[in-house]
């Protein structure tokens, strides 16, 4: 049995391993997986992102708004990359930014744990600032701002109980409305 993560770096690695297990389970590509730490507990979001970089950044705006609404303290994003072919995890929390990856050797299915390489930690200089900036400034000590009714309705449409990508409170396993 794997011990509970004790540090942020261990949590990022645990989410990397969870994403690899999900790939093995579904035997297909996975949507990017967010773990968002908030004062009320961690939330999980799985969000389909377009391949086009500009469209992808536009799609990430509602995720950033969700983090602002929930007063996120940090997040871990676990996803797949195509070059290199790997599963990766990025963790952003105030002053701490870490990322790791595990290369995938895609052979004939079924894929197993043997298809994943050892965990490799990435140099901080290889992490794009646009990904770090997904964590709202309110998490970095700013007072933040109140959300308008229109913004709350948009968040409910995206991440509410019946939303496109329901936010799941990790501790309870329940989809929760915003």
pLDDT, averaged across the chain: 89
Q: Are 144 and 71 in contact (CB under 8 A)?
A: yes
The pLDDT assigned to 138 comes to 58
DSSP codes of every residue in 99-126: EEEEEB---SSSP-GGGB---EEPPGGG
Residues whose CB falls within 8 Å of the CB of residue 125, separated by 6 or more in sequence, listed in order = none
d(CA 168, CA 170): 6
Predicted pLDDT of residue 143: 44
Span 140-162, average pLDDT: 79
The two three-digit tokens of residue 68, written as one number: 């602002």
User: Is the model more confident about 82 or about 167?
Assistant: 167
- Residue spans per domain, the chain: 8-175
Could you tell me the pLDDT band of residue 146, with boundaries at 50, 70 and 90?
A: confident
pLDDT digits (tens, 9 = 90+) for 96-135: 999 999 999 988 889 999 999 999 999 988 898 988 999 9
Q: In whole angstroms, give the CA distance from residue 101 to residue 90.
A: 9
37-67 pLDDT, tens digit per residue, is 999 999 999 999 888 888 988 889 999 999 9
């Amino acid at each position: 049995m794997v011990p509970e993560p004790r540090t942020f770096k261990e949590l990022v690695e645990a989410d990397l391993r969870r994403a690899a297990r999900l790939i093995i389970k579904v035997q297909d590509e996975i949507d990017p997986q967010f773990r968002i730490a908030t004062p009320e507990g961690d939330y999980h979001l799985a969000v389909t992102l377009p391949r086009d970089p500009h469209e992808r950044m536009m799609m990430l705006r509602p995720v950033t708004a969700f983090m602002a609404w929930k007063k996120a303290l940090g997040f871990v994003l676990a996803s797949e990359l195509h070059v290199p072919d790997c599963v990766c995890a990025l963790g952003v929390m105030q002053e701490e930014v870490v990322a790791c990856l595990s290369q995938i050797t895609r052979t004939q299915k079924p894929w197993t744990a043997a298809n994943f390489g050892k965990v490799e930690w990435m140099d901080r200089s290889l992490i794009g600032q646009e990904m770090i900036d997904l964590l709202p400034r309110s998490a970095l000590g700013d007072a933040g701002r109140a959300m308008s009714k229109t913004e709350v309705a948009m968040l409910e449409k995206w991440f509410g109980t019946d939303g496109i990508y329901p936010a799941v409170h990790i501790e309870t396993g329940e989809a929760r409305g915003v």
